[in-house]
Structure 1
Amino acid sequence: MTTSQPRDSDGVVIALARAPHGLGGYLGFRSTSFAKFDDLIEALTEYPAVIVVAAYPIVVRALAKTLTSKYDDPTVIAIDEGGSFVTVLAGAHHGGEQLAVRIANFLGATPILTTASRVSDRIALDQAPLIKLDRVKAELQARLNHGVGLTIVNPTMLALPQSVLALEHQGPDPVKLVISDRVCDQELGDARGVLPTLTVGVGCSSDASCDEVRELIATTLEETGLDPAAVDRVATIERRVHHRALSDLHQEIVGFTPEQLDTVPIPTPSEVVHHSVGTRSVAEAAALLASGDKAELVVAKVKSQKVTVAVARRNRLRGSLTVVGIGPGSLDLLTLRALGALRSAQYLVGFKRYLELLEPVIERGQVVKPYAIGQETERVLESISLASDGNRVALVTSGDPAVYAMAQLVIERLPTNLDVRIVPGVTAAYAASAATGAIVGHDHVMISLSDLLTPWSAIEARVEAAAQADFVIALYNPRSKQRTWQLEKALAIIGQYRRSTTPVLIASRVERPGASTSITTLEEFDIEVVDMETIVIVGASTTAFNQGYLYTPRGYQGAR
């Protein structure tokens, strides 16, 4: 199976003086300092999110020239030049409030949030998780703010995720929220919300254009009364995933091999298609296959001269599981990709201490699932269960997810039809090395001394091989209250192949409160200063000092 992701939207930080250092990078936005008033006007018409650093009257004058409708305006957030207050001026219900909180956390400022739903601590319908709504009537939101109930009408019998079901609450004269991808179902309630339930299957000839594909999709959805906002992704045969006719749709695209497509029962098989591409169906089979078990073909194939389209409806939402490496602990070492994954998750699952490190970036409405140390399997199983129910889940690990962490266990337990993504992070060995120079600057290995999951005989053999090969050796999980002898044994093995004065870096609680680093040698190493929050890095024969920094050279001086 091959996938292609759509492009992300972007934003801009525009300052009439100097932009706050690092803010643009933290948000993943373009950043401009010493802008002019006309630059601000242009930004407000071009970007979906605009962060303005200026005196508020200047921002108000710019908004007066550009704002048109709350449904079409960009998200606009103003920061005073002193960096004390972060105020949402437009787009509060389109991510503005959450964005303002993130910015305030980054700057150490106060977020100014003034919507009625925020003040009354009620959910804003147009901020409900996963749900896309048309324009919500002001009187409906006002009723919710004043304490009426909310009930969900589900005419297509979709298996709704818990985050949507949780919107229902008791109260007088309840607002009826219809969840349906059919336009006509809006008559069943007070407002209609759309979830990503539809997969559009597409087959096309090699000379088809994007305009032809887009036109047939739009016509098909309109004629069958299906809401384009409910389209989750496009599915096709693998060879067409990167064809311009589909990639220019700016939708996520998933492609299947002819063998995969031919396993799907479909109503209108074609021997002509089979002779051409090796499968009896592309559009119908791809739509059903991408929609998972119990999917329903709601539109059989519709053809134009060069394009074929079919539409399938999912039985439950397509969840996602992202395993996020948050680095060693300092929030400024979170990658932008990791931050984006955390922002978009409905559920955050992880070891309690790791989640505590993330408190400044956890947003209102996100559900946190903390676990005790040692409950790795339980964390993975809960994450998979939540994602399989149609939720967006972030499983949080420290460092990098694949370095003595959770990525391997997730992949071992991964069921079919569940999207998983691994977001790398800065692992402890590299953060520790950077704190004192570049001890891992040449070939190096990472070895865990924990024999809880790996036999000590295997660990011992790896340590000896690495020592004999003159690698820099980073020792993870070096010592605990129960495992007290393994580190001493490992250092003794290394000492058979290294001089006694070989530098050793001891780094504890790297990039966290109470962090400390010390440099010693093999002969002077003190086992008692090491615990489970420590990493030990033993230098190679070439590891040396310069100007107080520890490094392992690569020999550039003699390179030609």
Structure 2
Amino acid sequence: MIGLISATAAGAAARDRLAAAWPERTRVYDGPVGDAVRRAFAECEQLVCFLATGAVVRLVAPLLGDKADDPGVVCVDEGGRYAVSLLGGHGGGANELAREVGALLAAEPVVTTATDAVGIPGLDTLGLPYEGDVAGVTRALLDGEPVALESEVVWPLPPLPFAAGGDRRVRVTDRAGEPAAGEVWLRPPTLVVGVGASKGVPVEEVLGLISRVCEDAGLSPRSIAELATVDAKAEEHGIVEAAARLGVPVVTYPAGELAAVEVPNPSDAPLAAVGTPSVAEAAALAGGGELLVPKRRSERADGLPAMATCAVVRRPGRGRLAVVGLGPGARDLLTERAKAELRRASVLVGLDQYVDQIRDLLRPGTRILESGLGAEEERARTAVAEAREGQAVALIGSGDAGVYAMASPALAEASDDIDVVGVPGVTAALAAGAILGAPLGHDHVSISLSDLHTPWEVIERRVRAAAEADIVVTFYNPRSRGRDWQLPKALGILAEHRAPGTPVGVVRNASRADESSRLTTLGELDPAWVDMMTVVTVGNTATRNIAGRMVTPRGYRWQESELSRQAAPSEEGAR
């Protein structure tokens, strides 16, 4: 919950805008400001104070405890010009909150945390448990000193400017131990603990067994990702409570699925009890991975039979491939989700001219793999291969990456051994349509006239189908130096079914600095106006040029009623 505190009418107005925008996230604190701040500090995870920073510093100073537990605090000035991250930039989420508040109130976010200021992800913000000299290693990264990365297990990390040499390092490991001076150990959630248990097993017995197994195997409990068991034990209190204390979920599998998992130590007892010869080993192995610790039984001080078993599997981190659409070229049409994926990627793969568009958004340490025109399949293979190595990869394309772009060849290469995320972008057809007016107001289709990968016979059949169906058509890749006859041929097919006066929009470099557009007709269009940077939109029989804008009505009935209304005099006019 975010506590909102204000002292003046102007502050209250901005406060109320936040409260209206985030009704489920915020709580307004009224009354004397000092009391309001103290109550919000005790009750909320974050605060937004519409007060001077000096006043907030004096109010919260006596309340400060540990930076891991204190709420994040953001201050907004009286004029609503700045949203200042004052306290808990990382741990309290104040840096991100300042950006959110700034976006909502049109205020400039002020973030002074060193890593955020220079675009380096903080080691304490990676979502992984960590140990060691975070401050010292982070300072070395900021100062440009060499910091080595040692990855004992595969895990997709965001870009960091690692370099060989020096006496500081970041170690990615699920092994037990203590970091040496100048080291930070990151604990990725790679360990799956399979648990079998008798009814009524005490939680202490389950936790004690897991602790002993990890200690004997030299594994860190902080890298446990989940406890896995059979469906029949989904509500077993000892297992559920053990997972809660470890801060991990319980994942369950049907007995039939576990029975099909090959294990080294099957047993008749679980087969008779829950219908599978193995619970601990099979549940741990069900999601794949390497069996590090075979089934172990708990030990009871009272001499009674063991009530718990467990096994441990290492499930390596999966690489991540984000296929990102950059939009038509204008920076303000690049989505926030796309920007976040670009900052998250440790490896960027793309066409060189597209890389140049967003190079300034990349974080230090991002490895860039760029190539020229005509290497689409090679880029797709490269991106998938990097993800299979456990990297966080962004593969970029213009417009929407799934429309005549990189998503299709990449997903044709990818299998289920990596995670794939699609990030939509504004397509060229949509960008051009917005410039022209509303040409895509009813059914429409996009057709590429490039026959480099598609036989012309197939393209012609599609154009003819669109012509006969009276569908608005946007042509991609309409004309190049080596392909100058396809566009006239396609327009001729459309002309068999549409009048010469049918509106046609021609947009070149939509949304870019040298954007140009013109509205013409099917009979007057000169193909010489068109190149590979152009999209051509041909209207249907209902499309009209209205006040210099290309408009396709939402439906023929709507069109008839609108035309009738426009043709008839208004009541005021009749008077």
Fold agreement, TM-score > 0.5: yes
The 8 Å contact of residues 348 and 369 in structure 1, kept in 2 or not, is answered as yes
Offset of 1:298 from its aligned partner? 3.3
Q: Which residue of 2 aligns with 1:170?
A: 165
1:186-201 correspondence runs (5 A): 186=178, 191-200=183-192
Offset of 1:453 from its aligned partner? 0.9
The 8 Å contact of residues 177 and 193 in structure 1, kept in 2 or not, is answered as yes
Offset of 1:227 from its aligned partner? 3.9
Offset of 1:448 from its aligned partner? 1.1
Q: Which residue of 1 aligns with 2:302?
A: none
Residues 427 and 176 (structure 1), Cα distance of their counterparts in 2 relative to 1, 3 Å cut: closer
The 8 Å contact of residues 180 and 192 in structure 1, kept in 2 or not, is answered as no
1:177-256 correspondence runs (5 A): 178-183=171-176, 185-186=177-178, 191-200=183-192, 221-223=210-212, 224-225=214-215, 226-232=219-225
Residues 513 and 122 (structure 1), Cα distance of their counterparts in 2 relative to 1, 3 Å cut: closer
Offset of 1:380 from its aligned partner? 1.9
Deviation string 1:233-279 (CA, Å, 9 cap, x unpaired) is 66678999999999x97968988888876665322335676789886
Q: Amino acid of the residue matched to residue 153 of structure 2? A: L
Offset of 1:101 from its aligned partner? 8.1
User: Matched residue of 2:500: which SS?
Assistant: coil
Q: Amino acid of the residue matched to residue 173 of structure 2? A: S
The 8 Å contact of residues 122 and 145 in structure 1, kept in 2 or not, is answered as no
1: distance between equivalents of 2:330 and 2:229?
42
User: Matched residue of 1:186: which SS?
Assistant: coil
2: distance between equivalents of 1:521 and 1:240?
70
Q: Which residue of 1 aligns with 2:489?
A: 489
The 8 Å contact of residues 326 and 400 in structure 2, kept in 1 or not, is answered as yes
Seq. identity, %: 34
Q: Unpaired runs of 5+ in structure 1?
A: 1-9
2: distance between equivalents of 1:39 and 1:515?
53
Q: Which residue of 2 aligns with 1:113?
A: 112
The 8 Å contact of residues 98 and 363 in structure 1, kept in 2 or not, is answered as no
Q: Which residue of 1 aligns with 2:527?
A: 527
1: distance between equivalents of 2:3 and 2:529?
47
Is 1:467 matched up with 2:467?
Answer: yes
Normalised to the residue count of structure 2, the TM-score between the two structures is 0.73
1:144-163 correspondence runs (5 A): 150=147, 157-158=152-153
Offset of 1:491 from its aligned partner? 1.0
1:400-439 correspondence runs (5 A): 400-439=400-439
Is 1:60 matched up with 2:69?
Answer: no
User: Which of these residues, 100, 124, 130, is aligned with residue 133 of structure 1?
Assistant: 130
Offset of 1:390 from its aligned partner? 1.8
Residues 512 and 465 (structure 1), Cα distance of their counterparts in 2 relative to 1, 3 Å cut: same
Offset of 1:418 from its aligned partner? 1.2
1: distance between equivalents of 2:328 and 2:139?
45
1: distance between equivalents of 2:377 and 2:232?
38
2: distance between equivalents of 1:339 and 1:428?
19
Normalised to the residue count of structure 1, the TM-score between the two structures is 0.75
Q: Which residue of 2 aligns with 1:354?
A: 354
2: distance between equivalents of 1:39 and 1:326?
44
Q: Amino acid of the residue matched to residue 190 of structure 2? A: L
Residues 272 and 218 (structure 1), Cα distance of their counterparts in 2 relative to 1, 3 Å cut: closer
Q: Unpaired runs of 5+ in structure 2?
A: 299-304, 562-575
User: Matched residue of 1:512: which SS?
Assistant: coil
2: distance between equivalents of 1:137 and 1:108?
31
Residues 79 and 399 (structure 1), Cα distance of their counterparts in 2 relative to 1, 3 Å cut: farther
Offset of 1:190 from its aligned partner? 5.6
Offset of 1:338 from its aligned partner? 3.6
2: distance between equivalents of 1:414 and 1:262?
30
Aligned length: 535
1: distance between equivalents of 2:519 and 2:16?
33
1: distance between equivalents of 2:384 and 2:169?
31
Residues 111 and 265 (structure 1), Cα distance of their counterparts in 2 relative to 1, 3 Å cut: same
Q: Which residue of 2 aligns with 1:269?
A: 266
Q: Amino acid of the residue matched to residue 186 of structure 2? A: V
2: distance between equivalents of 1:251 and 1:470?
56
Deviation string 1:81-111 (CA, Å, 9 cap, x unpaired) is 5566664433345576688789989979585
User: Matched residue of 2:266: which SS?
Assistant: coil
Q: Amino acid of the residue matched to residue 113 of structure 1? A: T
The 8 Å contact of residues 178 and 188 in structure 1, kept in 2 or not, is answered as no
2: distance between equivalents of 1:241 and 1:505?
61
2: distance between equivalents of 1:501 and 1:240?
72
User: Matched residue of 2:178: which SS?
Assistant: helix
Residues 59 and 366 (structure 1), Cα distance of their counterparts in 2 relative to 1, 3 Å cut: farther
Residues 527 and 34 (structure 1), Cα distance of their counterparts in 2 relative to 1, 3 Å cut: farther
Offset of 1:355 from its aligned partner? 3.5
